[in-house]
Chain A
Amino acid sequence: MQGDVIAKKEDKGWFYTDTVKEHFFHPKNFLEDEAAYGDAYLGMVGSPACGDAMKVYLKIEKDADGLERIKDFKWKTFGCASAIAATSMLSVMVTEHGGMLLEEALKLRPQDIMLRLGGLPARKIHCSVLGDKALRSAVNDYYRKSGQIDKISLEAGRVIDHVLKITDHDIEEAVLEGADTLEKVQARTKVGTGDPSCIPEVENLIRFYKEKYFGA
């Protein structure tokens, strides 16, 4: 599986770029003083692939034009070098230049983080999705607390396999874990074993997510 922003040198020695290494060895904005962030907006997610976890603490303020901007982004992660570097980079991206507009931040894609990192190895792409999801979850927390309930985007997913209650998110996660065929997705999710009628749709989704994350 090859994607557009994957480091080419994966097989040669260090497979992380210098930028990844810099953010890994000197992570920016990780939360050291939890007490000072008691009132921050909190987002929490677990990684689909390897059971890793991440917490994000956001501070959001309105600027002179009344637009919501991210003023602070602190994080903690239980994950590999890619997860640490990707989250560190994300924290820089959303807080630089006076803070990113909330609307723009919500449009960030894992690919944008990877581009700034100079690429990640293919099997590490899912790690960069972690920060993105944690950010979304923290923004939802903000919307909830600021009464903008209509803006909360629920990641509940759409049920595809009605017997096993498997959603499009489950398929997405399987693809991110490297399952690039129906057989491999089934090995992880058992999708379609009780409800074969959903298989065409599953195959469609696999194609869609492969395209989305790996450009293949």
Chain B
Amino acid sequence: MKTNKIIYLDHAATTPLDPRVLEAMQPYFTEDFGNPSSFHSVGMRAKDAVAEARGTVARLLGGHEDEILFTSGGTESDNLAVMGVPRYWHEKNGVLPHVITSAVEHYAVLEPLIAMDRKKEIELTIVGVSREGQISVEEVMSAIKSNTVLISIMTANNEIGTIQPIAELGREILKYRKLHATTFPYLHTDACQATGFLDLNVEKTHVDLLTLNGSKMYGPKGVGVLYVRRGVKVQPMFIGGGQEKNLRSGTENVPGIIGLAKAFELVQAEREVESARLSTLRDRLAQGLLSIPKTILNGHPKERLPNSVNISFIDIEGEAAVLYLDAQGIMVSTGSACASTSLDPSHVILATGLSYEAAHGSIRFTLGHSTTEEDVDFVLRVMPAIVERLRLMSPANLDMKYFA
């Protein structure tokens, strides 16, 4: 059952560039290559193009152009939000700022916050999640203190696909601010994984800061967005030429910015049709995989991204499974400790209350534009044999009652 076809099911890691995006970017490498800060017409053309891209992103988010910052990607946007807000506030007020986040956030949010907490730059509350990976809005709200400046909760999880009740949280925060006549806390959300699937209009979700990443939306790598609502102050990390309203110095990545705007436009326009198509494939894949004995679905059964299937295959180790799947041309990822540089299993799967063993055997399949029904059926054909073979090699034989 050998095939030469590559079945790429790792779209949460990164997406291929949409050819339409490449086309939009192309002129900005060699023809309109100018520096937007220059005062000649070559520079002006680049400046106009960036302005137009900014307008597109603003419109799609339901915000204003002056609220859009272009960055180098999701990590920078997340860092700038979670480090920049408390630092600015601290400098202004001299009081220790308090930040609330969740245990399943991306490391680009968790790591800087944990480091700042350790250095006593902030006070940090990390709320847990349900077995399905969802935060409780009530729990977040009751963690708010007088010095809470920021709440950072992702829109949808990159590992298990669980969608968080961001709009509900946004509404509650708004109520809280009104009641206490304060502008804090702000709400930041990392929406990288949700970009192609959900409505990210900030007027509907009431978020104050929002992270996007070009490389998760069929756009280029190395470019991202941080939406920063008017009035929200962040301390910059890059200091220099004063680009991006002094908040992010450095010559603009013009082709990247053009590409991100184009990609964002395309995925948002096709969002509903693609979500419906992928949901069907997702459910077919999940159902088929769950018919293999000793398997558990990670993430929320319903409130889950249309492209996300994460399954724990008990008694096997994920890295080995990933490599066996790779040999069949199927590209996936795992939450196994063995596959991580730190040798720690997925913090997301552990946060949902599952054991090390379940995190070890977790495999993430994330679907995308290229995914077809044949792809799904091919995975369903080869997976049982791979699991069976690895289980034969494994000394583990855990009772499923521990995973109920």
> Which A residues form the contact surface with B (CB < 8 A)?
24-25, 27, 30, 32, 44, 49-55, 76-84, 123, 127, 177-178
User: Measured between C-beta atoms, what is the minimum distance from A152 to chain B in Å?
Assistant: 23
Cα(A54)–Cα(B395), bound, Å: 6
Q: B320 touching A24 by the CB < 8 A rule?
A: yes
Q: Which residue of B lies closest to A48 (CB)?
A: B343
Enumerate chain A residues within 8 angstroms of B393, measured Cβ to Cβ: 27, 30, 76-77, 84
Enumerate chain B residues within 8 angstroms of A24, measured Cβ to Cβ: 320, 323
Q: A79 touching B338 by the CB < 8 A rule?
A: yes
Q: A78 touching B323 by the CB < 8 A rule?
A: no
Q: B320 touching A81 by the CB < 8 A rule?
A: yes
Pick the interface stretch among B63-71, B196-204, B286-294, B311-319: B311-319
User: Measured between C-beta atoms, what is the minimum distance from B350 to chain A in Å?
Assistant: 12
Interface string of B372-404 (1 = CB under 8 A from A): 000000000000000000001111100000000
User: Measured between C-beta atoms, what is the minimum distance from B123 to chain A in Å?
Assistant: 22
Enumerate chain B residues within 8 angstroms of A81, measured Cβ to Cβ: 319-320, 323
New A-B pairs, 4, CB < 8 Å, besides A30-B392, A84-B320: A51-B356, A53-B396, A80-B338, A81-B319
User: Measured between C-beta atoms, what is the minimum distance from B151 to chain A in Å?
Assistant: 29
Q: A78 touching B395 by the CB < 8 A rule?
A: yes
Which of B315, B324, B327, B341 makes the CB contact (< 8 A) with A78?
A: B315
B337 at the interface (CB under 8 A from A): yes
Q: What are 18 of the A-B contact pairs (CB < 8 Å)?
A: A24-B323, A30-B392, A50-B337, A50-B343, A50-B360, A51-B345, A51-B357, A52-B317, A53-B395, A76-B393, A78-B315, A78-B360, A79-B317, A80-B338, A81-B320, A83-B338, A84-B320, A177-B343
Enumerate chain A residues within 8 angstroms of B395, measured Cβ to Cβ: 44, 53-55, 76-78
Provided the pairs A51-B356, A177-B343 are in contact, do residues A80 and B317 lie with their beta carbons within 8 angstroms? Answer: yes
Enumerate chain B residues within 8 angstroms of A51, measured Cβ to Cβ: 337, 345, 356-357, 360
Cα(A44)–Cα(B395), bound, Å: 9
B339 at the interface (CB under 8 A from A): yes
Enumerate chain B residues within 8 angstroms of A77, measured Cβ to Cβ: 393-395
Q: Which residue of B lies closest to A177 (CB)?
A: B343
A to B contact number (C-beta, < 8 Å): 64
Chain B interface, number of residues (Cβ within 8 angstroms): 23
User: Measured between C-beta atoms, what is the minimum distance from B357 to chain A in Å?
Assistant: 8
Q: B338 touching A52 by the CB < 8 A rule?
A: yes
A interface: dominant SS: mixed
B336 at the interface (CB under 8 A from A): yes
> Which B residues form the contact surface with A (CB < 8 A)?
315-317, 319-320, 323-324, 327, 336-339, 341, 343, 345, 356-357, 360, 392-396
Enumerate chain A residues within 8 angstroms of B343, measured Cβ to Cβ: 49-50, 123, 177-178
Provided the pairs A51-B337, A53-B396, A178-B343 are in contact, do residues A80 and B320 lie with their beta carbons within 8 angstroms? Answer: yes
Cα(A119)–Cα(B316), bound, Å: 24
User: Measured between C-beta atoms, what is the minimum distance from B387 to chain A in Å?
Assistant: 13
Enumerate chain B residues within 8 angstroms of A52, measured Cβ to Cβ: 317, 338, 360
Q: A78 touching B316 by the CB < 8 A rule?
A: yes
Cα(A78)–Cα(B315), bound, Å: 7
Max count, chain B CB within 10 A of own CB: residue among A25, A51, A54: A51
Enumerate chain B residues within 8 angstroms of A32, measured Cβ to Cβ: 392
Cα(A32)–Cα(B343), bound, Å: 29
Cα(A103)–Cα(B317), bound, Å: 33
Q: A80 touching B341 by the CB < 8 A rule?
A: no
User: Measured between C-beta atoms, what is the minimum distance from B114 to chain A in Å?
Assistant: 13
Q: B394 touching A76 by the CB < 8 A rule?
A: yes
User: Measured between C-beta atoms, what is the minimum distance from B330 to chain A in Å?
Assistant: 15
Q: B392 touching A78 by the CB < 8 A rule?
A: no
Enumerate chain B residues within 8 angstroms of A80, measured Cβ to Cβ: 317, 319-320, 336, 338-339
User: Measured between C-beta atoms, what is the minimum distance from B220 to chain A in Å?
Assistant: 22
Enumerate chain A residues within 8 angstroms of B315, measured Cβ to Cβ: 78
Which of B327, B345, B396 makes the CB contact (< 8 A) with A25?
A: B327
User: Measured between C-beta atoms, what is the minimum distance from B391 to chain A in Å?
Assistant: 10
Q: Which residue of A lies closest to B334 (CB)?
A: A80
Cα(A12)–Cα(B392), bound, Å: 31
Provided the pairs A79-B317, A80-B320 are in contact, do residues A123 and B394 lie with their beta carbons within 8 angstroms? Answer: no
User: Measured between C-beta atoms, what is the minimum distance from B186 to chain A in Å?
Assistant: 32
Max count, chain B CB within 10 A of own CB: residue among A81, A83, A127, A177: A81
The 3 closest A-B pairs by CB, nearest first: A80-B338, A50-B337, A76-B395
Cα(A76)–Cα(B356), bound, Å: 19
Enumerate chain B residues within 8 angstroms of A78, measured Cβ to Cβ: 315-317, 360, 394-396
Cα(A12)–Cα(B215), bound, Å: 21
Enumerate chain A residues within 8 angstroms of B394, measured Cβ to Cβ: 76-78
User: Measured between C-beta atoms, what is the minimum distance from A44 to chain B in Å?
Assistant: 8
Q: Which residue of B lies closest to A84 (CB)?
A: B320
Q: Which residue of A lies closest to B356 (CB)?
A: A51
Max count, chain B CB within 10 A of own CB: residue among A53, A76, A79, A177: A79
Cα(A25)–Cα(B324), bound, Å: 7
Enumerate chain B residues within 8 angstroms of A27, measured Cβ to Cβ: 393
User: Measured between C-beta atoms, what is the minimum distance from A41 to chain B in Å?
Assistant: 15
User: Measured between C-beta atoms, what is the minimum distance from A108 to chain B in Å?
Assistant: 21
